[in-house]
Chain A
């Protein structure tokens, strides 16, 4: 057979082998055997010497054409194999992300913590600083400094846990008013959230341990109108809507005048329902203008400064926000309840 025929034959048979190959390894073997450095075509190149001089150029061209035809067939087939392999790998890597992620679910912060934190941020944004005070208090800070001298009947308004050594568990967060004034002086805008204690039997609506948020502003000219403005702004933030409020007289020795601030019942809109005891109003916020004696106890001259103060029942607010109807759940440590607040 002539060289040309041999080359033609090689080209055709290799093309068939490439088309039939089923693995990359087979293709590699074909490549080595045909166009490899020691392959058939390389051998054929050496045979060129035997070709007549006048045919040599045409033969060379034929040789190159066969070589490049084989190479491109190999490349094409290799690419196809690689694409298929990638496709197979991708397909094999199917996964199900609807299955739960491994590891633990996040826990929950206590509902009172969440409400407290929210309020702290609201107040901070309005220029109030957040203060803490001790849970074990002196009689002076809890009562005397707040214009509640010994034997004042207002002491009966707050059933007190007395401790050895003459101290007590604070019955309200109000003592932080005096501590705050002493520490920061006037002008002053502060809140003091925290745990308070009353010697009361526990039932679905009473706890001996609960949370309050005390607030106070002291400045040169503070009026009832200013207090109303702050209370309305605050309530709008808390309830995320305009809330109708009503101010009425309330007696707290550390403010004068003293008020109870009621909000229009959010459930019935003031028409009357069991929650508001059919009055249309819900008592929410005791407040008032700071009594001069309290300013004095805080080292502030009531001739120069005055202010307002208020107390917010954090526990009550949390119960309202989350629809909790039994106060005892808050201190019971039951994760079936607490995990709902994730």
Chain B
């Protein structure tokens, strides 16, 4: 929202704070100022001048104008405007002016003639957007500054910080803040009006919840013409486009009082009744922006006997809008329910100056004030205009906002420092609150109607009013008195951090990936589309699903980094998001996973897989690897294993299928951190050191080449009894004298007893047992 510093100063007379400081003051006390910029500072170098003589310039459409700039003398200016003619009073830009975009106006020779400065069109000096001809003024004397058009500053306030303040969507509201901050009195621009006469129009409101008030005036003998230039300038300076006198006044009043109004051409409205009702489903409105909108049954419309003529609070209709020939006007000034306007505006994707204001919950008390202000300005911009009848005003009964009890001791405790009662009262009154005593230590505070719609309803809201006005910088920071006790622990979070740190120590660098993936990607990985939660409004087509696995993005990471590096390791921890039926709030299950990857351009891939296995053993001590069943399309069918802990599957390790990783070997470890946390080892109970020596014996088992070390190892382990302390894989051998399809696996078995040294007989028995088990499984021993 743009505010004109001049305008604010007119409403807070006596304001001497320079505009930049004003922006900073507003920021610290009211709402965030995003910047303050000079607007048309060059107007100091622009004066009224009368064209006294015009001579054609040979070979050019330009003319050579002699102008009278009053006390500044007579000058000659080359001008290309078709309306440059003797007698008109126009804007003369003096040499030395620097216009928008750094364009410096000086003495120049144009078409061989000396030109002192230039005569300006509206767009050249920021008055309006016209470039057809030079400006023409109807009042003022040559040499004077342009009437009502002087250098200004535009203070831009962040709209988000005005979300709760319907009143700050107009200059009067901001001026009230500025007056309160600087201790000045506010000047109300709305003239007092005694309304008399019968309402010339009937208004039927179907639902007062949606439209608490609809006020209107009817005018006749209207002349549609351009607005006076000062009015155009004022609109232009705050970013509104001047259109014509009647429309410009409605916009000016909206920018001043925050109350949107709408002017209908009264002769184009059918019947003598205005209906405020819900649209019929499918009802259409041709809007002023030349679009056609089809409404649902929840949109509020302004209708006449012929149907919907405007979308209430959002946009007017084209067929009944003001046009050059308009002679009679119905001026609507209504109040609508914020939620309803917001709903319609967002459903139609149509945010207008009106809808932005209504959705902040405007003050129903403001409708007639806006009419009074418009009526005053209409007389100025459309001489001869007459009011038909009296005020039309259909309103639900208003319940005045209840007084809020403000306990002063409570207030001080909330703020954290004492604020004198007198100061509290002064601040509240300066913001137009009504303050009455309410017992010795409390006040009864009634907010003004424009703060009562949504903004102020509880005592906490008053804390903010007092706090911001005394200045938060005046509150000394103070340490709270709190129990000194350790906070509840977050073991799962700590556990995950520990794993991340260990993964990094093992050479894996942490990446963060998006939670989204595309349908195409999901399909490519063979993850069924229906298992994913769908994003209804994705940022892009390729981000329409929530991930059920970290793998697709990790594969992407491998591809991306393989372009720059020959070998690397990376990992991510993040949530898989799975649909879940029957949970209390319907929320999906979010399962934290750790996915680690190793890529190497060279080699056969085995080293990488063993490194991932080692990482798994570091992160999840005791984890068991076994060949997986159910190979997925992106997995190497002979290099995919599941990881188990305490009999539960906790992860998977695999090499990427060669067709998925063309320029090297990529392998991925995927661990379910929720399961691992659940199964994490208990603190170890120590075993007493062994007092009697242990014995070892080696066995070499001949197997087929694809028999797993793990299978033979656990076979040996199972063969033992309580005297078996360990079975360790020593190594393997292939080659003569073994057959080509054979290998020899060597294991070292350690045996011992807690209470004696094993006898030679016991050791032999143990060895015999192992040999028997190996042979029973169909393997030979290598001697």
Residues on A lying within 8 angstroms of B by beta carbon are 103-110, 112-113, 117, 120, 124, 127-132, 134-138, 140, 150-154, 156-157, 161-167, 169, 184, 187, 189-190, 195, 197, 199-202, 208-209, 217, 219, 221-226, 228-232, 246-251, 253, 256-260, 277, 279, 289, 291-292, 306, 330-336, 338-339, 342
Q: Residue A223 contacts which of B339, B359, B413, B572 (CB distance < 8 angstroms)?
A: B413
Known: A151-B338, A161-B535, A246-B473. A130 touches B163 (CB 8 A): no
Q: How far is the CB of A341 from chain B (nearest CB, A)?
A: 8
Cα separation A277 to B35 with both chains bound (whole Å): 9
Contact check, B160 vs A157: say whether CB atoms are below 8 A apart. Answer: yes
Q: Nearest residue in B to A198 (C-beta to C-beta)?
A: B539
Contact check, A226 vs B416: say whether CB atoms are below 8 A apart. Answer: yes
Most B C-beta atoms less than 10 A away, residue of A128, A130, A256, A292 = A256
Known: A105-B507, A136-B533. A333 touches B538 (CB 8 A): no
Contact check, A251 vs B514: say whether CB atoms are below 8 A apart. Answer: no
- Residues of chain A within 8 A (CB-CB) of B338 are 151, 153
- Residues of chain A within 8 A (CB-CB) of B565 are 335-336
Known: A250-B32, A338-B509. A229 touches B515 (CB 8 A): no
Q: Nearest residue in B to A138 (C-beta to C-beta)?
A: B585
Known: A164-B536, A184-B488, A256-B460. A333 touches B511 (CB 8 A): yes
Q: Residue B477 contacts which of A229, A306, A332 (CB distance < 8 angstroms)?
A: A229
Contact check, A219 vs B546: say whether CB atoms are below 8 A apart. Answer: no
Cα separation A206 to B553 with both chains bound (whole Å): 21
Contact check, A225 vs B511: say whether CB atoms are below 8 A apart. Answer: no
- Residues of chain A within 8 A (CB-CB) of B467 are 224, 257
- Residues of chain B within 8 A (CB-CB) of A258 are 464
Cα separation A167 to B586 with both chains bound (whole Å): 8
Contact check, A164 vs B458: say whether CB atoms are below 8 A apart. Answer: no
Q: Does B504 contact A (CB under 8 A)?
A: yes
- Residues of chain A within 8 A (CB-CB) of B75 are none
Q: How far is the CB of A99 from chain B (nearest CB, A)?
A: 18
Contact with A along B577-611 (1 / 0, CB 8 A): 10000000111101000000000000000000000
Q: Nearest residue in A to B29 (C-beta to C-beta)?
A: A249
Q: Residue B414 contacts which of A189, A224, A250, A342 (CB distance < 8 angstroms)?
A: A224
- Residues of chain A within 8 A (CB-CB) of B586 are 138, 165-167
Q: How far is the CB of B505 from chain A (nearest CB, A)?
A: 5
Q: Residue A106 contacts which of B27, B505, B514, B536 (CB distance < 8 angstroms)?
A: B505
Contact check, B510 vs A130: say whether CB atoms are below 8 A apart. Answer: no
- Residues of chain B within 8 A (CB-CB) of A140 are 585
Known: A107-B506, A289-B460. A331 touches B514 (CB 8 A): yes
Contact check, B464 vs A163: say whether CB atoms are below 8 A apart. Answer: no
Q: Does B72 contact A (CB under 8 A)?
A: no
Most A C-beta atoms less than 10 A away, residue of B458, B464, B501, B546 = B464
Contact check, A167 vs B587: say whether CB atoms are below 8 A apart. Answer: yes
Q: Nearest residue in B to A278 (C-beta to C-beta)?
A: B35
Contact with A along B147-167 (1 / 0, CB 8 A): 000000000000011111100
- Residues of chain A within 8 A (CB-CB) of B35 are 277
Q: Does B479 contact A (CB under 8 A)?
A: yes
Contact check, A131 vs B490: say whether CB atoms are below 8 A apart. Answer: yes
Q: Does B697 contact A (CB under 8 A)?
A: no
Most A C-beta atoms less than 10 A away, residue of B415, B482, B561, B570 = B482
Contact check, A333 vs B476: say whether CB atoms are below 8 A apart. Answer: no
Contact check, A201 vs B539: say whether CB atoms are below 8 A apart. Answer: yes
Contact check, A247 vs B506: say whether CB atoms are below 8 A apart. Answer: no
Cα separation A109 to B107 with both chains bound (whole Å): 65
Contact check, B510 vs A335: say whether CB atoms are below 8 A apart. Answer: no
Contact check, A248 vs B535: say whether CB atoms are below 8 A apart. Answer: no
- Residues of chain B within 8 A (CB-CB) of A334 are 560-561
- Residues of chain B within 8 A (CB-CB) of A128 are 487
Most A C-beta atoms less than 10 A away, residue of B492, B497, B506, B512 = B512
Q: Residue A129 contacts which of B32, B488, B492 (CB distance < 8 angstroms)?
A: B488
Known: A109-B504, A127-B487, A292-B460. A248 touches B359 (CB 8 A): no
- Residues of chain A within 8 A (CB-CB) of B687 are none
Cα separation A92 to B739 with both chains bound (whole Å): 44
CB pairs A–B below 8 angstroms (7 shown): A105-B507, A108-B504, A110-B511, A166-B586, A199-B539, A209-B514, A229-B477
Contact check, B587 vs A136: say whether CB atoms are below 8 A apart. Answer: yes
Contact check, B534 vs A163: say whether CB atoms are below 8 A apart. Answer: yes
Ranked nearest first, the 8 interchain pairs of A and B with the lowest CB-CB distance are: A225-B416, A257-B464, A104-B507, A223-B416, A151-B339, A247-B472, A107-B509, A129-B487
Contact check, A135 vs B511: say whether CB atoms are below 8 A apart. Answer: no
- Residues of chain B within 8 A (CB-CB) of A166 are 586
Known: A106-B504, A229-B478. A335 touches B561 (CB 8 A): yes
- Residues of chain B within 8 A (CB-CB) of A250 are 32, 161
Contact check, B414 vs A306: say whether CB atoms are below 8 A apart. Answer: yes
Q: How far is the CB of A154 from chain B (nearest CB, A)?
A: 6
Contact check, B569 vs A333: say whether CB atoms are below 8 A apart. Answer: no
Contact check, B536 vs A289: say whether CB atoms are below 8 A apart. Answer: no
Q: How far is the CB of B491 from chain A (nearest CB, A)?
A: 11
- Residues of chain B within 8 A (CB-CB) of A107 are 503-510, 569-571
Contact check, A256 vs B464: say whether CB atoms are below 8 A apart. Answer: yes
Cα separation A246 to B493 with both chains bound (whole Å): 33
- Residues of chain B within 8 A (CB-CB) of A330 are 512
- Residues of chain A within 8 A (CB-CB) of B27 are 248
